[in-house]
Chain A
């Protein structure tokens, strides 16, 4: 278990989610702990409540039972300590890339010069140095998600909540964005909670994979693949993916996701 032992920061404790007007709960009794330095990925078939859980952590959805806390404080509303990146970028098209990144700083009343300086730093971090003055519609899907990540990091969050951030990208861009995500994660010392449909993506990125099953959403298994730590310590992503251990883990994870399927 390569999982670093740290004080758990973001905690979902026995969380059940029940949407109004729904006969059954969407999620029942799920507990997840995320420390700084963790990269936790939620996987599972559609309807297993991955995004619902992420929204509870974000403070956008209140759990019906159980508790969501950050550093022991209950989560009652969204906050910049838990910045969210959505699948459909959710960028502001009336702002340039730089102004989008600086949005959180502007909300805090940071002056224009300091804002621009900090935004340019973050744009450089996501390898978009020259795109600062561009409008959102001038950027490709992958570039937009980079802007979205930089914008979230500008809020200096303790945790990044990623709701299928690479879901709308083509396969090649997706692969490159995975390493970008890992680079950001190692560089910025944040804890990540991410939802994805990609099995390989989960293996590459996660320090811990939580497999959920639907009806109602519950945890069926937890993996600690450790490939992302190998990448962080300098190993090339291709070497990792070519490792027979990667293929074995892939098979195991796929089985876990589709386990209850026959029933």
Chain B
């Protein structure tokens, strides 16, 4: 029996799952009254209202803080018409594809590494210093190196994201493994389990909640790394949408982006506002144009 064949516990709904839950975790008693979902919905509405209100009161120039309605309309436009040679969906798919490819790679590498750290002294001796070395380095720091080594294509982007995901997955797995109750392991051994069987049938399922937590943290780390990687080198993806195409790069050079001042503004504004970017009349822009 493998992990994938666990059946979902009865009555497991998203609304009652607080934090991470595995199929065999005890269901939390259902509380009556207002649900967390309701409160969350109200919270979001309040934030939206505050946003709309501050736009209405013109606390910030609408160029820098467009109203929720304007943002929504722009979203519709980008979703329908696309952005620089690709639809919004294609950009999203490109980004998600990279993150999930990296997630699979990270699971394949980091879960065994975490098991090794948690189970054996030798494994801990080998992998602990490597992980502790890798962990504090911001992905953007090794991104140029990875691009130099592996080129500007898809593999290097996935590799950078994978590296960012390794440490959280491996460390969570290791701590999950170390937390497995000795009694459980002893019980399995006294029932005739070999070392490998203990790992497969006892340690891995016991550590699964911790592994899932690690994956969740890793997805967060991977997502922010993705945006960074796409900012540097990509023609598609959500990170690319933040930066926009590089003019004179031979592709995606849209006519409406003219001189450098416009380009700068387009970067400052959200790309969604690019189409209707008008000169703000800020002195900074003028000075910059003079300086050219």
Contact B1 A99 (CB under 8 A): yes
CB contact between B187 and one of A90, A94, A108, A154 (< 8 Å): that residue: A90
Q: Does A34 make an interface contact (CB < 8 A)?
A: no
Chain A residue, CB-CB nearest to B208: A94
Binary CB contact string for chain A from 16 to 50 against chain B (1 if under 8 A, 0 otherwise): 00000000000000000000000000000000000
Cα–Cα distance between A79 and B194 once the two chains are bound (Å): 10
Interface string of B166-191 (1 = CB under 8 A from A): 00000000000000010110111111
Q: Are A86 and B202 in contact (CB under 8 A)?
A: no
B192:A108 contact, CB within 8 angstroms: yes
Given known pairs A92-B184, A94-B23, A99-B1, the reply for A82 and B190 (CB within 8 Å) is yes
Query: A36 → chain B, closest Cβ, in Å?
Result: 18
B192 contacts A104, CB within 8 Å? yes
Q: Is A83 an interface residue (CB 8 A)?
A: yes
> Total interface residues on B, using CB and 8 Å?
25
- Chain B contacts with A in 134-187, Cβ cutoff 8 A: 181, 183-184, 186-187
Q: When the two chains form their complex, are residues A94 and B24 in contact, meaning their CB atoms are under 8 A apart?
A: yes
A161 at the interface (CB under 8 A from B): yes
Instruction: Give the CA-CA distance A29 to B208 in the complex, in Å.
Output: 43
Q: Does B80 contact A (CB under 8 A)?
A: no
Q: Measured between alpha carbons, how far is A80 from B201 in the docked complex, in Å?
A: 16
Answer whether A94 and B190 are a contact pair too, CB < 8 Å, given A86-B183, A103-B201, A107-B201: no
Q: Of B26, B183, B192, which is in contact with the most chain A CB atoms at under 10 Å from its CB?
A: B192
Q: How far is the CA of A108 from the CA of B190 in the complex (A)?
A: 13
The reply to whether B186 and A80 form a contact with Cβ atoms under 8 Å apart is: no
Q: Are the C-beta atoms of B190 and A161 separated by less than 8 Å?
A: yes
Contact B24 A135 (CB under 8 A): yes
B1 touching A80, Cβ below 8 Å: no
With A94-B24, A135-B9 as contacts: A60 and B192 at CB distance below 8 Å: no
B residues in contact (CB < 8 Å) with A: 1, 6, 9, 22-26, 181, 183-184, 186-194, 197, 201-202, 205, 208
Give me the interface of A with B, judged by CB distance under 8 Å.
58-60, 77-80, 82-86, 88, 90, 92-95, 99, 103-104, 106-108, 135-137, 151-152, 154-155, 161
A and B contact pairs by CB, cutoff 8 A, 28 listed: A58-B186, A59-B190, A60-B186, A60-B189, A78-B186, A79-B190, A83-B190, A84-B190, A85-B187, A86-B183, A86-B187, A88-B181, A90-B184, A90-B186, A90-B187, A92-B205, A93-B24, A94-B6, A94-B205, A95-B1, A99-B1, A106-B201, A107-B192, A107-B201, A137-B26, A155-B190, A155-B191, A161-B190
